[in-house]
């Protein structure tokens, strides 16, 4: 079992934004939900920063996001500002933990190098899933083996660097590795959307664990962080509903107890007045934009509470008291400044 960084007993829920732009009302919706759902279970709330690809992220974004959350009155028990027992709270400061997980998976013979370009994969697998293409297994070896990671991470003769992929076939074939038998479909129960299933070959495939540029994959980092930060509850946007299958696979492949796997709650995405997904650049739905228009944080909180099917209040304690998963809308939540305030 991979237990180098065992988790503590205290349960938590988390909000984990990626600092790629200004926080908008959809992010605020998920942040508020993460806080009130965690509090309703008596859990700690954690603010984690998903900045895996730190080299490509503008530093100013993170400061702006932290300011926006504070302006809105959303306070976390633990995080970058507050500190806490699960530090560090930036993924960019946790690479050593991900590397130990990569080494563990490699020791189990569950990784292989993939030299395919995105274009090549697209040519073989034309059915795009929401997380890109399902990899057709072109580079999957017939026989699983332990890689010399230092050697494998060097460029090949043609200069190409490999991504490291998770070998779902090797994993499924080894009953010693998978505590339960994996068949074609894998399932979990979402707290909002109920049972979710995915076909291991057609919808999941051998996904990337570490990109060719060395960036650890979200699926690995997310599962590792949720475990090491004792997250028992993951409340996040419905666009990540299929990611959960991969993260649960990671839990299992790392030999972690699936009973310690978080419970997952996915929530309908906030859309604009025309039903389109919120565009990050649209200033009218950014918290900064709302602030500049003179909208008060209490107004935004109350509006978000109503959008979450909760009471007409700006008080977080009252939202927590009234909270139930059943209240949440399961269809897209239209956001309109005009209707909301």
Q: How far is the CB of 209 from Zn ion (least distance, A)?
A: 13
CB 54 within 8 A of CB 98: no
CB 286 within 8 A of CB 24: yes
Q: How far is the CB of 136 from Zn ion (least distance, A)?
A: 8
Place of tokens 């509850």: 233
Q: Which is nearer to Zn ion, 141 or 309 (CB)?
A: 141
Q: Which is nearer to Zn ion, 55 or 156 (CB)?
A: 156
Q: Which residues bind Zn ion (CB under 5 A)?
A: 114, 116, 138-139
Q: How far is the CB of 118 from Zn ion (least distance, A)?
A: 11
- Nearest one of 325, 302, 323 to 313, comparing CA atoms: 302
Q: How far is the CB of 135 from Zn ion (least distance, A)?
A: 7
Q: Which is nearer to Zn ion, 115 or 325 (CB)?
A: 115
Q: Which is nearer to Zn ion, 139 or 332 (CB)?
A: 139
Q: Which is nearer to Zn ion, 80 or 139 (CB)?
A: 139
Relative to beta strand 132-133, strand 163-166 is unpaired
Q: Which is nearer to Zn ion, 114 or 217 (CB)?
A: 114
Q: Which is nearer to Zn ion, 212 or 236 (CB)?
A: 212
Q: How far is the CB of 220 from Zn ion (least distance, A)?
A: 18
Q: How far is the CB of 116 from Zn ion (least distance, A)?
A: 3
Q: How far is the CB of 114 from Zn ion (least distance, A)?
A: 3
The C-alpha angle with vertex 249 and arms to 246 and 251, in degrees rounded to 5, equals 115
Residues 6+ apart with CB under 8 A from 227: 7, 251, 254, 256, 260
CB 227 within 8 A of CB 7: yes
Backbone angles phi, psi at 95, to 5 degrees: -60, -35
Residues 6+ apart with CB under 8 A from 131: 207, 242, 243
Enumerate the β-bridge partners of residue 231: 12
Separation in Å, CA 78 to CA 43, 82, 129, 262, 289: 11, 5, 34, 18, 27
């Amino acid at each position: 079992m991979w237990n180098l960084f065992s988790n503590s007993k205290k349960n938590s829920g988390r909000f984990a934004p990626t600092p790629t732009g200004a926080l908008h009302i959809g992010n605020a919706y998920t942040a508020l939900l993460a806080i009130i759902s965690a509090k309703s279970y008596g859990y700690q709330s954690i603010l984690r920063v998903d900045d895996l690809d730190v080299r490509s992220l503008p530093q100013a974004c993170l400061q702006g996001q932290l300011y926006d959350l504070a302006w809105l009155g959303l306070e976390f028990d633990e995080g970058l500002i507050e500190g806490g027992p699960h530090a560090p709270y930036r993924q960019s400061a946790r690479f050593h933990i991900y590397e130990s997980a990569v080494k563990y998976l490699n020791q189990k013979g569950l990784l292989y190098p993939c030299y395919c370009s995105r274009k090549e994969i697209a040519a073989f697998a034309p059915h795009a899933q929401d997380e890109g293409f399902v990899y057709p297994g072109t580079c999957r070896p017939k026989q699983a083996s332990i890689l010399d990671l230092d050697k494998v991470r060097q460029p090949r003769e043609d200069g190409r660097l490999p991504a490291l992929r998770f070998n779902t076939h090797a994993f499924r074939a080894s009953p010693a590795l998978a505590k339960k038998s994996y068949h074609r479909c894998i399932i979990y129960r979402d707290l909002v959307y109920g049972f979710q299933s995915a076909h291991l070959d057609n919808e999941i495939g051998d996904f990337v664990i570490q990109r060719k540029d060395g960036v650890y994959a979200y699926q690995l980092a997310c599962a590792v962080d949720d475990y090491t930060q004792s997250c028992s509850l993951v409340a996040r946007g419905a666009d990540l509903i299929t990611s959960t299958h991969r993260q649960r696979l990671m839990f299992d492949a790392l030999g972690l107890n699936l009973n310690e796997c978080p419970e997952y709650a996915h929530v309908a995405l906030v859309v604009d007045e025309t039903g389109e997904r919120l565009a990050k650049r649209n200033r009218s739905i950014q918290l900064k934009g709302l602030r500049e228009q003179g909208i008060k944080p209490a107004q935004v909180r109350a509006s978000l509470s109503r959008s979450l099917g909760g009471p007409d209040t700006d008080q977080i304690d009252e939202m927590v008291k009234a909270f139930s998963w059943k209240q949440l809308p399961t269809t897209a939540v239209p956001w309109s400044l005009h209707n909301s305030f």
